[in-house]
């Protein structure tokens, strides 16, 4: 790789608004502003909606196998093709909530909102447009074409910050990852793992556990130097002012240590503030109502039934999940388990579920429209999700070549279109949905 520089129905109603959110003064930027194209002079602010805290020329990108990535480790690209896909995906999320942007009490009283992992900023811009008095901050590790997002939305000022908030890195205990992978069947358990079974919940706990098992004692050191006036800055996000809402969407595979992530989110929320996490699982037709074979059974695992639809997609799905384990950031929506939020201290944890159709099988015009959009999202996601994972880490058997990935992706795309539009398998197509989920939690007002 060569571094380059380049610019179902809801099961719960959203909670009702609580007392008005605290009023905060505008937060200073984490970095000094540069003379970027998005932040120039006071006069230009009348015509522009955004400010940036770092010039895009200051950020290295990686051109790899025809796609552009934000660094050497995160598996998803950040190029124009991915931006177009995410723009459609944003419409699906909003359509699933019947036009709403959030399941939290997001109102004009909400003063500060953080969109964590904002990508091209579709959600952040939509919030800023709908709530013009709300200070919206969008943070991402990569530079996207924000100007296009803002132009398409037509309004809403957002402060954009470029920052890689993953201060913990990937899981380093390969023995644990290998053990979990050997006992993992993604066709039965698409969430990848039960968080309650995790022996060490935070990076610090896992590091401590690793060192305690080592023959060489791990030297302890003070958290700060007593002979200096200022202690060393402790790891963390260090936002200048707290937020009333921190929003994450479609972040599976972004972090390895989610317990630490939720602790940072809690720390950076104002008392009474909310966290909202949104994501989805794409359940293949053969995974519906699947059950795990009993131990020692010769019964084939769900997803490998002879004659089942989308055999290439099932093959790629399994390879993708295996590669994510090998990368140190397992995929799956396990990070949305309520215990993660509860352990971090959040109250009023609740979940909203929506089944989003895949394809144009619904009779309802609006559902048919959403299903068509999500089919496009699914279709275009294959290369984006698979290319780096399989060529950099590979599945349990091998590291794939670029040609192998692209060939299987094209075969998978043909399967999707032939199966979704073809005359056979009508009963399987009708009812095929992706499981969309929003989980929220509130920080106590007395915290």
Residues 6+ apart with CB under 8 A from 253: 75, 76, 324, 327, 329, 330, 331
pLDDT at 209: 52
Is 226 a member of any domain? no
Is 406 a member of any domain? yes
Q: Per-residue pLDDT for 311 more than 80?
A: yes
Is 392 a member of any domain? yes
pLDDT at 151: 83
Residue found by looking up tokens 């009490």 in the block: 105
Q: Per-residue pLDDT for 62 more than 70?
A: yes
Q: From CA 112, how far away is CA 444, in angstroms rounded? A: 17
Q: Per-residue pLDDT for 105 more than 50?
A: yes
Q: What is the mean pLDDT of residues 82-87?
A: 98
Bridge partners of 315? Answer: none
pLDDT at 233: 57
pLDDT at 207: 56
Q: Which of 77, 175, 67, 181 is nearest to 119 (CA)?
A: 77
- Name the band, by pLDDT with cuts 50, 70 and 90, for residue 175: confident
Is 222 a member of any domain? no
Q: Per-residue pLDDT for 20 more than 60?
A: no
Q: From CA 126, how far away is CA 16, in angstroms rounded? A: 21
Q: From CA 111, how far away is CA 194, in angstroms rounded? A: 36
pLDDT at 192: 45
Is 219 a member of any domain? no
- Name the band, by pLDDT with cuts 50, 70 and 90, for residue 444: very high
Q: Which of 110, 171, 167 is nearest to 135 (CA)?
A: 110
Q: Per-residue pLDDT for 320 more than 90?
A: yes
Please classify residue 302 by burial: count the beta carbons closer than 10 Å to its beta carbon, then call 0-12 exposed, 13-18 middle and 19+ buried.
Answer: buried
Greater model confidence, 244 or 1: 244
Q: Per-residue pLDDT for 41 more than 50?
A: no
pLDDT at 128: 95
pLDDT at 372: 96
pLDDT digits 0-9 by tens, 404-423: 999 999 999 999 988 766 55
Q: What is the mean pLDDT of residues 342-355?
A: 97
Is 221 a member of any domain? no
- Name the band, by pLDDT with cuts 50, 70 and 90, for residue 206: low
Is 162 a member of any domain? yes
- In this prediction the pTM is 0.78
pLDDT at 10: 41
Greater model confidence, 205 or 235: 235
pLDDT at 79: 95
Is 229 a member of any domain? no
Q: Per-residue pLDDT for 306 more than 70?
A: no
pLDDT digits 0-9 by tens, 375-400: 999 999 999 999 999 999 999 999 99
Mean pLDDT estimate for the chain: 78
What are the C-alpha distances in Å from 78 to residues 63, 82, 333?
10, 6, 21
pLDDT at 291: 40
CB of 386 within 8 A of CB of 405? yes
pLDDT at 413: 96
pLDDT at 422: 59
**CATH code for the domain in which residue 50 is found:** 3.40.50.150
User: Which residues span the domain enclosing 112?
Assistant: 2-212+235-442
Token couple for 259:
């317990």
390's enclosing H/E stretch is: none
> How many domains does the structure of the chain reveal?
1
pLDDT at 410: 98
Token couple for 263:
């602790």
64's enclosing H/E stretch is: strand 61-64
* Least reliable range by pLDDT among 234-243, 270-279, 330-339: 234-243
pLDDT at 202: 61
pLDDT at 219: 40
Q: Per-residue pLDDT for 295 more than 70?
A: no
Q: Which of 118, 126, 114 is nearest to 78 (CA)?
A: 118
């Amino acid at each position: 790789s060569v571094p380059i520089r380049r610019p179902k129905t809801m099961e719960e109603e959203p909670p009702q608004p609580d007392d008005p959110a605290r009023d905060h003064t505008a937060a200073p930027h984490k970095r000094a502003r540069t003379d970027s194209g998005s932040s120039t002079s006071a006069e230009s602010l009348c015509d522009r909606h955004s400010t940036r805290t770092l010039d895009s020329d200051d950020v290295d990108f990686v051109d790899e196998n025809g796609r552009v990535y934000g660094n050497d480790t995160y598996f998803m690209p950040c190029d124009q093709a991915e931006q177009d896909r995410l723009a459609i995906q944003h419409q699906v999320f909003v359509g699933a909530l019947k036009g709403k942007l959030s399941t939290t009490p997001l109102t004009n009283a909400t003063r500060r909102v953080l969109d964590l992992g904002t990508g091209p900023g579709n959600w952040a811009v939509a919030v800023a447009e709908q709530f013009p008095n709300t200070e919206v901050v969008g943070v991402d590790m990569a530079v996207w074409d924000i100007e296009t997002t803002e132009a398409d939305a037509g309004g809403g000022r957002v402060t954009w910050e470029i920052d890689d908030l993953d201060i913990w890195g990937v899981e380093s205990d390969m023995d644990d990852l290998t053990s979990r992978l050997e006992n993992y069947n993604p066709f039965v358990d698409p969430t990848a793992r039960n968080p309650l079974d995790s022996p060490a919940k935070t990076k610090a706990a896992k590091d401590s556990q690793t060192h305690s098992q080592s023959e060489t004692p791990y030297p302890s050191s003070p958290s700060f130097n007593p002979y200096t006036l200022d202690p060393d800055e402790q790891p963390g996000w260090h936002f200048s002012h707290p937020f009333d809402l921190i929003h994450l969407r479609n972040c599976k595979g972004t972090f390895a240590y989610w317990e630490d992530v939720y602790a940072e989110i809690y720390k950076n929320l104002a008392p009474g503030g909310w966290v909202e996490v949104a994501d989805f699982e794409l359940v293949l037709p053969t995974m519906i109502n699947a059950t795990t074979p009993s131990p020692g059974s010769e019964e084939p695992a769900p997803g490998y039934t002879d004659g089942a639809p989308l055999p290439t997609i099932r093959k790629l799905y399994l390879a993708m999940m295996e590669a994510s384990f090998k990368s140190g950031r397992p995929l799956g929506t396990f990070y949305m388990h309520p215990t993660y939020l509860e352990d971090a201290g959040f109250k009023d944890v609740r979940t909203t579920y929506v089944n989003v159709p895949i394809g144009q099988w619904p009779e309802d015009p609006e559902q048919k429209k959403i299903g068509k959009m999500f089919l496009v999202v699914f279709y275009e996601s294959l290369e984006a999700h698979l290319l780096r994972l399989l060529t950099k880490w590979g599945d349990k058997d091998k590291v794939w070549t670029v040609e192998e990935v692209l060939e299987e992706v094209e075969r998978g795309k043909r399967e999707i279109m032939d199966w979704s539009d073809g005359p056979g398998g009508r009963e399987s197509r009708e009812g095929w949905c992706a499981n969309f989920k929003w989980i929220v939690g509130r920080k106590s007002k007395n915290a």
